[in-house]
Amino acid sequence: MTDPSAADRTRRPDGDDDEGPREFVKYTFYKLRPEWRRLPEPERRRGREALVRVLEDPAPGVLVRTYSTVGTRGDADFALWTIVPDLATLAEFHARILGTPMGGYLDTRYSYLGMARRSEYLGEHAHPGQEGGGRRPFDLPFLFVYPFVKRREWYSLPFEERRRMMGEHFRIGHRYPKVRIHTGYSFGLDDQEFILAFEADSPAEFLDLVSELRPSEASRYTLLETPIFTCRKVDAERMLALAEGLP
C-alpha cells in the first residue's frame, strides 16, 4: 500500500525527521522446540514466567508487542514487534530473551530490521496511519508482516512518475481506513528494502485491500513480498501458552 523509496526529503542531518527520532523497528519470529514441551510442567511454568517478565518489563525506551502465529504458520509459533531507539538497546533486549530458560529452546526462524520515516511520495497529503507515518502500534487484533523489495527498474523512473503511480496506491488504501500501515526502511540494514506491517480488525479487510492493489500500476515493479505472516495479538503469557499447546 505504500512504497517509500531512496531519498527522504524530510530527513535532517542529525538523523531525525519532521516526525521525530527515527527509531528502529524489528519483527522477530520464533519457533519453540518440541523438547521444551516434554519437560516437567513446573519447570516449564517457571520458564514461561521468566520470559513473560522480560517481555512485560523491557528496558526503558523499548516498546514490545506480542503475537501468536499458532495455526497461521507452520514454521513459527509467535512473533515480537519491537521498537527501540538504538541497536545496542535492541541487542540487549534480545539477549535477555535468549538468556531465559525458555530462550534456550527458541529458534529464530525469521528476523526483519528497519527504521521508521515518512514516505517521500506523500507531499502535503496524508491520511494518518495509512501511508507509513505511524510510529506506534494501534493495538488492533491482527498484524500482517512481510518483507518487500522493488525491481531495480523502479528506481530509474523519474520521481514524479513514481509519485503518480503511488498516488493510485494511496487512493486504493484510503478505501480501507481501518487498515493501518507501518513501514520500516531496510536499505543497507537488512536483506529486504522495506519491512511492511499492517494492522487490521479482521483478516478479510486486509485480504480485500491486497486483492484490490494487485492490478495497480506500481505493483508491476514488485520483486519480493513473501513470506507473509498473519499474526494474532495476544498478551505475552497467552502467546507462550499457545506455543506450548496449552488451553
Catalytic: 185? no
Contact 47, 56 (CB under 8 A): no
Of the residues 27, 121, 146, 176, only one is catalytic, namely 146
Q: How would DSSP label each residue in 197-242?
A: EEEES-HHHHHHHHHHHTTSGGGGGEEE----EEEEE--HHHHHHH
- For residues 28, 29, 34, 37, the Cα torsion angle rounded to the nearest 10 degrees is 70
Contact 222, 206 (CB under 8 A): no
Contact 121, 108 (CB under 8 A): no
Residues annotated as catalytic are: 146
